[in-house]
Structure 1
């Protein structure tokens, strides 16, 4: 112990890894060091000022039951806090370390401290036995080895047993064997043949010496009993046997089969096997051996984590009268099996966590340990579920649980973080641990009123100090952050508002400080501010409208002239006044509003008056009947004006009505109150202007419509003349053409060259003279000028695209002989052929049947506004149908395509077939058919 107190050494290692949490510091201290012994300077190792250690909340966390080390925040030193016994802390371990976690805040810094516990040579080697006996035959040859017991030393490393010494004697020497990482063993070597008759017992002393300075020793007395007689010693075929066995091997599993042979015969050659107990380990506690066969099996459960290997000796002894034996070393390695699940240890650092904690803030330290070896002890740790936290790897199996998302206590006040650790064994084992992280409140929500604007209704003349409303604001925070106080926020009018109302800062009760008068103040407005008690405080405002409700506290007031001071309220009426004669009009007002200001007029005196009446709502006094001679000449009237309040208030006015003979006397004798006519109001003026404006607009629209209707005439088409058609001696003909263009097709069997042309509904203003020659070509020969251009119709004449080939059209229109199309002055146009068109509603259409081509003879044409079944069209004398131009002769059906002034007018032609040409083609077609029937191929179509 004294040596331990005087020999304290420390070594500082800083491992700078990539991560902020990967810094590692290493110290060393000898075991049994006194409390308070300084291990090393944390301030120097961390490169921080000593004064910062306390302000940055230095915290040391360890996973041990005892707090072996602590930090002195004043000096920055790490010192011993508990007595450390290395043999108790790390039994059977060469290197003994204590791992600590050091954490600094503001900013957060995490270090791993490794303190190596240096072993002291405070334990001497000891032998389990006090006396060891050996039976050696006197016939044993020199050089034969005899195994000796092992000495036990609780110290490790260089302080463990390093050698053995044998007391001086003439028969034996000592052979010390070192097995590397394993213990040092010693064997007796026979140097000189024994003679039982000369010395039956040889006493020796074996001393075990450790490697300390100074060295410690332990001794064992050995008695060698000299036996008679056995010539041969059993021998094994190996000097060292090795075996492997799984730690989960069941009881009875075979570990190894040993075999030893003896050259003797009989009992001297019959070998029996047994374990050799050395030190404090007895192989028979773990394994079983068959004495006859040498088979070693598993006796009890193996545990790799408790003992990874077993080294012991097996003895083979013959059964002679003087038995001889030999020993062999057996090393049994226990193979690790993944039979230990990871263990999760959590050290909480910040719980609860503030809801405004930044991302990356450390909440807790997580340590995962697995007692297995290799991959079976390698673990991975993760968080299950969706939570705003994550695990950050610090060093090997050390993790930090950090904030990884936004926290909101008002949404969720606590989280159950499930941590799962899985090792890499086969099959893998896992374990889970749930950490409950509570979220503490931060003042991040201002108080909130339930309404944006609050209306308060207060009766006028209410007493002072009455509660008129209670304000309520809610704050989703908790504690002081949710404790709300109320105040008036009137801005620039705070002083005036504070004289009218007051608010209780705790309860939010608004109390009136004066009695309200509706006639003086109908409404006023102020703001109430709600402020929480957080740091910093948050607040919000709400607008409060106070509306004073009217009470019937004002009596009606009579208006002049009947209310003038010193005036005599008298009126005169002529004796000849008829019933309904206007006498006077009483006017009154009431300062109240609503029903409280709704006035009614009544005659209260004289009672039962049947000469006068008063309008209840107008206040006009009129006569009820004509005067009679029995009526008095003077009639005092008392008019009562009442409002409609509850209770009703009233006012009276007295008028004396005098009956006179004529109107002149009325004007000279008595004061007359003139009747003021009501002025013409602005509203009536606006209504009058609006009615006049609407009437004028309606009349103008009607006149315009009539003018447009009258301007139209029925002779629209009379100003257009029919196109000019000219015949020529060679059989060709021509007609006038405007920008409109026609495609005319004949069928091959047309009998005559006469043609019926269907142009646009309106003749062109100017056009080209188009001639049709016998060569079946269509040319433009002359342009006819015109002074005005008509409107172009929208008729859409269509023909099959297969009928067009360049600028010349082949004859492909079937001539309907049975159909008659004639047009003359005053002649009924009828018997129109039938065809299909896209302009049926316009009056005509042309289309080929299904499959119509160049040689198709099934074209049909229909013209007429109503289609098939429509009534015939009548023409006036001298009028040409606007949709048809007719050339006398046999009718033919023409497919016409109309282009209305397009760019491609020059590319369209009209092709006519003559009778002779049609006959030739028909004859040629018949000849070709005959040739085909005979099987001849001309090769010419």
Structure 2
């Protein structure tokens, strides 16, 4: 049973594509389910890179990433990449359709960097749940059959087929349920009156609304709905549109008018006086971001809009008359947020190989650099380069991943340290830029021969000088450092043996 469960929940669907851009960069993709046990194998890096397993240890293979947790590690004896930390997809990528963990496999001798994307697959480990504990509806007994009442939605931290797929209503004689698909916005349900109400017979009707997800097996959550049957009004308020659409820039200041709603009611007096309000659904409260004037229907910006956080708001609004038994109508308002270039690129150095030998070949990798920009469209497209005249350049590996490589001769004796300035600029209007200084140390190699202070030395010796007498001190120097600059002196055999 345990093995079968592992096959059902821990089965790893690996789709590998290898696109070798050059000898130092490539792209590999894996897929793995969330919540798998530590030690679960993701894929074999040796096989996918056509490497001998022995090379992994000799070339000191390392898995590096910019994440705070070490989710993956590698077995150098087998080449297997395995899970090293519990992965919770909902914690890692909340409200995201595709959850990608980006890591890199780095090899030495020669240095090579391979980008790895691990797609974290969702499992049905969350049940649908309603934010409300109970929900009450006030419905007049004079309501006509066919009238509709918007119901709360359930939220499910899972995505795709594991999210909420349908709703069910408990058996009753007065209402049916109309479930509607909203595409990317999920499904919603409306209560439809099928049989006229009679307050004198039944003043409160208790219903049970159940949300069911599409997992196998399916999970569900329920909400009790209390329908209070009231007397009143003949006419329902009517919005001028069932769907309002408006676009607002994310840097729009508070107080700016977004739209003015318009609803009418054919009744007279207080029964025709309409008050507007937001309908809070799920865990989204529109009143935190927008203000709605209850009397005029004017909606204005209240909070800070952020395209990167929420690119669009689907808001339900209500128009309710003020009769003794108030009646209401609802409409949908879609507010699309227009992105502006308000985020500068962020430059991250994921791996720094320093010091670099002064005889390093052109193309030797010094550092791995990643650039990210939260903006969308051209505002999030970045270009990265090295500023100034230095013997280094950036080489593009994959999208926003770069390698800082040697691009000219190095000479420690002339320059032993470089502060390399890397800049990233997006394509917004106006563009935003950021800078990062990478310090590169140059290590010594024995590339300089010792030199005497003088090419020819004349020494005069008294003929009866005692053995062991110092007749001259010879000095030489070597511009290299440490052991490469340590000198020993030797007399050539062609000289007389009287000197030692």
TM-score of Structure 1 vs Structure 2, range by shorter chain: over 0.9
For 2:176, which of 173, 176, 185 is the aligned residue? 173
The alpha carbon displacement at 1:489 in A equals: 1.6
Does 1:425 pair with 2:423? no
Out of 253, 264, 289, which is 1:286 matched to?
289
- Does structure 1 residue 307 correspond to structure 2 residue 307? no
- Which digits, 9 at most, give the CA deviation of each residue in 1:628-672, with x for residues without a partner? xxxxxxxxxxxxxxxxxxxxxxxxxxxxxxxxxxxxxxxxxxxxx
Alignment check: 8 A CA contact 2:25 2:112 kept = no
User: Structure 1 residue 140 and structure 2 residue 146: aligned?
Assistant: no
Secondary structure of the residue aligned to 1:481 is helix
Give the superposition deviation at 1:105: 3.4
Per the alignment, residue 444 of structure 1 pairs with 447
Contact 2:61–2:105 (CA<8 Å) still a contact in 1? Answer: yes
- Give 2:355's match in structure 1, choosing from 337, 352, 356: 352
SS in 2 for 1:468: coil
Q: Any idea what the Cα deviations from partners look like across 1:44-95, whole Å, max 9, x if unmatched?
A: 1111111121122222221111110011110110100111010110011011
| Aligned twin of 1:194 | 197
The Cα shift of 1:448 comes to 1.1
User: How far off its partner does 1:453 sit?
Assistant: 1.0
Query: Which of 299, 319, 324 is the aligned partner of 2:322?
Result: 319
2:460 to 453, 457, 462: 457
Identify the residue that residue 630 of structure 1 maps to in structure 2. Answer: none
Q: Distance in 2 between matches of 1:77 and 1:243?
A: 51
Provide the rounded CA distance (Å) in 1 between the counterparts of 2:379 and 2:340: 7
The aligned length equals 496
2:499 is the alignment partner of 1:501: yes
Q: Are the equivalent residues in 1 in contact too, given 2:64–2:351 (CA < 8 A)? A: no
1:162 aligns with one of 159, 162, 165: 165
CA distance in 2, matches of 1:19, 1:76: 21
Query: 8 Å contact 1:10–1:40 — kept in the other structure?
Result: no
C-alpha contact (below 8 Å) 1:14/1:24 kept by paired residues: yes
- Partners of 1:471 and 1:413 lie apart in 2 by 29
Q: Assess if the C-alpha contact under 8 Å between 2:357 and 2:443 holds in 1.
A: yes
Whether contact under 8 Å (1:163, 1:210) holds in the other structure is: yes
Aligned to 1:479, which of 469, 477, 482? 482
CA displacement, residues 787-820 of structure 1 (integer Å, 9 cap, x when unaligned): xxxxxxxxxxxxxxxxxxxxxxxxxxxxxxxxxx
Asked whether the equivalents of residues 311 and 329 of structure 1 are also in contact (C-alpha less than 8 Å), the reply is: yes
Question: How far apart are residue 464 of structure 1 and its match?
Answer: 2.3
Aligned equivalent of 1:470: 473
Is the contact between residue 253 and residue 297 of structure 1 (CA under 8 Å) also seen in structure 2?
yes
Match of 1:412 in 2: 415
Q: Deviations over 1:530-566 (max 9, x none)?
A: xxxxxxxxxxxxxxxxxxxxxxxxxxxxxxxxxxxxx
1:264 aligns with 2:267: yes
- Shift of residue 269, structure 1, vs aligned partner: 0.8
Q: In structure 2, what is the Cα distance between the partners aligned to 1:337 and 1:4? A: 46
Q: Higher relative CO (CA 8 A, sep ≥ 6), structure 1 or 2?
A: 2
Structure 1 residue 100, shift from structure 2 partner: 1.3
- SS in structure 1 of the partner of residue 114 of structure 2: strand
Distance 2:321 2:11 in 1: 56
Measured against aligned partners, the alpha-carbon deviations of 1:793-852 in whole angstroms (never above 9, x if no partner) come to xxxxxxxxxxxxxxxxxxxxxxxxxxxxxxxxxxxxxxxxxxxxxxxxxxxxxxxxxxxx
CA 1:4–1:281 in 2, change beyond 3 Å: closer, same or farther?
Answer: farther
CA contact (8 A) 2:19 2:28 kept: no
SS in 2 for 1:477: coil
1:97 aligned to 97, 100, 108, which one?
100
Contact 1:420 1:431 in 2 (8 A): yes
Q: Give the whole-Å Cα distance in 1 for the aligned partners of 2:174 and 2:442.
A: 82
Contact residue 24 and residue 111 of structure 2 kept, 8 A = no
SS in 1 for 2:316: strand
**Deviation, structure 1 residue 108:** 4.0
Q: d(CA) in 2 for partners of 1:20 and 1:485? A: 43
Question: Structure 1 CA distance, aligned partners of 2:32 and 2:273?
Answer: 57
**Secondary structure in structure 2 of the residue aligned to 1:425:** coil
1:51 partner SS: helix
- Residues 593-647 of structure 1: CA deviation (Å, up to 9, x unaligned): xxxxxxxxxxxxxxxxxxxxxxxxxxxxxxxxxxxxxxxxxxxxxxxxxxxxxxx
- Corresponding residue SS for 1:209: strand
**Separation in structure 2 between the aligned mates of residue 107 and residue 483 of structure 1, nearest angstrom:** 30
Match of 1:886 in 2: none
State whether residues 4 and 31 of structure 1, in contact with CA within 8 Å, keep that contact through their aligned partners in structure 2.
no
Q: In structure 1, how many angstroms separate the alpha carbons of the residues matched to 2:488 and 2:25?
A: 49
For 2:404, the equivalent position in structure 1 comes to 401
Equivalent pair of 2:35/2:88 in contact (CA under 8 Å)? yes
Distance 1:23 1:437 in 2: 25
State how far apart, in whole Å, the 1-side matches of 2:315 and 2:491 are.
93
User: Displacement of 1:460 after TM fit?
Assistant: 2.7
Residues 12 and 339 of structure 1, relative CA distance in 2, 3 Å threshold: same
How far is the alpha carbon of 1:340 from its aligned partner? Answer: 0.2
Give the number of the structure whose alpha-carbon radius of gyration is greater.
Answer: 1
Report the Cα distance in structure 1 between the residues aligned to 2:23 and 2:57, rounded to whole angstroms: 21
C-alpha spacing 1:180/1:22, structure 2 compared with 1 (3 Å): farther
Q: Give the alignment of 1:501-650 within 5 angstroms.
A: 501-502=499-500
Which string of whole-angstrom CA distances, capped at 9 and with x for unpartnered residues, describes residues 213-238 of structure 1?
Answer: 00000000000001101100001122
Q: How much has 1:10 moved relative to structure 2? A: 2.9
Find the partner of 2:88 among 85, 88, 105. Answer: 85
- Of residues 232, 237, 242 in structure 1, which corresponds to 2:240? 237
**Distance in 2 (alpha carbons) for counterparts of 1:20 and 1:293:** 66
Structure number having the greater helix percentage: 1
Aligned to 2:390: 387
**Residues 18 and 48 in structure 2, CA contact (< 8 A), matched pair in contact too:** no
- Offset at 1:457? 2.2
What's the counterpart of residue 64 of structure 2? 61
**What is the TM-score with the length of structure 1 in the denominator?**
0.52
Please report how far the alpha carbon of residue 110 of structure 1 lies from its aligned counterpart in structure 2 after TM superposition: 3.0
Alignment of 1:773-852 (within 5 A): none
Q: Is the 8 A contact 1:4 1:120 kept in 2?
A: no
Question: Who is 1:688 aligned against?
Answer: none
Q: 1:32 aligns with which of 32, 35, 42?
A: 35
Q: 1:245 to 1:4 in 2, by over 3 A?
A: farther
Report deviation, 1:488: 1.6
The one-character-per-residue Cα deviations of 1:409-466 (angstroms, maximum 9, x if unpaired) are 0000011100010000000000001001000000101111111011222223222222
Query: For the Cα contact (< 8 Å) 2:161–2:214, is it kept in 1?
Result: yes
Q: Which residue matches 1:248?
A: 251
Deviations 1:318-363 (Å, cap 9, x if unpaired)? 0111110011111111111100000000133420000000000010
Tell me the distance in 2 between the aligned counterparts of 1:387 and 1:253.
Answer: 50
- What stretches of structure 2 of length at least 5 have no aligned partner? none
- Residue 12 in 1 paired to residue 15 in 2? yes
Q: Tell me by how many angstroms 1:18 deviates.
A: 4.7
Q: Structure 1: any 5+ residue segments left out of the alignment?
A: 503-941
- Post-superposition shift, 1:183? 2.4
Once residues 110 and 436 of structure 1 are traced to their aligned partners in structure 2, the CA distance between those partners, rounded to angstroms, is 20
CA-CA distance at 1:20 after TM superposition? 4.1
Contact in 1 for aligned 2:134/2:225 (Cα 8 Å) = yes
Task: Tell me the residue number matched to 1:898.
Answer: none
Return the offset for 1:112.
Answer: 1.5
Q: Contact 1:36–1:79 (CA<8 Å) still a contact in 2?
A: yes
Distance 2:335 2:241 in 1: 15
